[in-house]
Structure 1
Amino acid sequence: MTHSHSGGPSADVSVRIAWADDAEAIAAVQGRAWPEMYADLLPAGVLPSDVEVVAAQWRQLLARPADARNRVLVALERNRVVGFALTSPAADPDCDPVADGELAEMTLDPGERAKGHGSRLLQAAVDTLAADRFTRAVSWINAGDDALRAFLTEAGWAPDTAHRELDLDGSGATRVKQVRLHTAIG
């Protein structure tokens, strides 16, 4: 499933389902984005720094998804991965895993923002969730991530009052508050 929009540099940018060969590129994007995304939340050294280890996890995920509806999408500029998104059945106890899909992650390379990749990736993720017959999409975002919240709100998502606190390093010392947004799809 490739999305391109007329009127823009359509030949150079696209979104497609990730291949196992994309594992290293996805891990590299994650390695560049996460320190910035979690800079205020995590002590240095907590984030995985070995791209090879992360790439191996991605390879396994891409080769053998636990659920056929677990999908990884990559945003491309020419043949270069500049971002990725994960969609899956929603795992929350108050969600219906048949009707509710989750945008589990959407990450852009920090150097590739404000070029339209995020909008294309989000649209493709929602289209993918709709194709998997979900009628609602949810996404957990860090409560302090105003940019992501504004981006999703502009795209028609809204808070659904659910919130949670994650223990990021298992010690209880690093906790992050998250809010859940949702939107009707399909």
Structure 2
Amino acid sequence: MIHADVSARPAVPGDEEAIAQIQLASWRASLGAAIEDLAADQMRAQWSTAIAQPPSREHRVFVACDGPHVVGFAALTPTEILALEVAPDHRRVGHGSRLLAACIDTIRAQGRSEVRAWTLEADDARRTFLSSAGLAEGGVRRTLEGPAGDLVEVMYRASLA
């Protein structure tokens, strides 16, 4: 039996191109044409900095790979999973779970006892994913300014104790 070479690993310089493309594709899928004005070059530069010069030792960027191809990413701050995206054509095959596991393992190794993540209130697929992974709504909502108006996010959390 042949098994696909799939993994999650820390991001390295050079991954920023794929990360920016995945982020844009994911946002396009959930936000539509409103994101077309976002500058891909600026996103690449921001991801390059996040990978090469993170704000602290606790900030991390991970990528999910399918063979040699980066197909997803996660960004972790000292207090929460800031982003977790998988390319739309690579979803539902375990990449998101591998990225979430990498984040949780890192949070535990840093001595923290809780994981938090945010999702758009209207993103039923992500809410189902987080719930199935053992996270529950944390009772907090926030409103962010989006490219086509306000976006409401819901916080999910789980104890790691």
Check 1:140–1:37 CA distance in 2 against 1; reply closer, same or farther (3 A cut). same
1:89 corresponds in structure 2 to 78
Q: Give, as a single letter, the amino acid of the residue that structure 2 aligns with 1:81.
A: V
Q: Which has the larger radius of gyration?
A: 1
1:64 corresponds in structure 2 to 53
The 10-residue stretch of structure 1 (52-61 or 68-77) with the greater mean CA deviation from structure 2: 52-61
Give the structure-1-normalised TM-score: 0.80
Deviations 1:4-55 (A, max 9, x none): xxx993x60000000012111111211222111222xx73534x2x433321
Q: Give, as a single letter, the amino acid of the residue that structure 1 aligns with 2:19.
A: I
Higher-helix-fraction structure: 2
Gaps of 5+ in 2: none
Taking the aligned partners of 2:15 and 2:34, their CA distance within structure 1 comes to 29
The list of structure 1 runs, each at least 4 consecutive aligned residues, that deviate by more than 2 angstroms after superposition, is: 42-46, 50-53
1:4 corresponds in structure 2 to none
Taking the aligned partners of 2:47 and 2:92, their CA distance within structure 1 comes to 26
Structure 2 residue 151 is matched with structure 1 residue 176: yes
1:45 corresponds in structure 2 to 36
How far residue 129 of structure 1 moved from its aligned partner, in angstroms, is: 1.3
Give the structure-2-normalised TM-score: 0.91
Taking the aligned partners of 2:92 and 2:16, their CA distance within structure 1 comes to 24
Taking the aligned partners of 1:63 and 1:162, their CA distance within structure 2 comes to 32
Deviations 1:94-123 (A, max 9, x none): xxxxxxxx0111001011011111111111
1:156 corresponds in structure 2 to 134
Q: Give, as a single letter, the amino acid of the residue that structure 2 aligns with 1:174.
A: G
Deviations 1:102-150 (A, max 9, x none): 0111001011011111111111111111112211011111111111011
Q: Give, as a single letter, the amino acid of the residue that structure 2 aligns with 1:64.
A: Q
Count of residues paired in the alignment? 161
Instruction: Report % sequence identity.
Output: 35
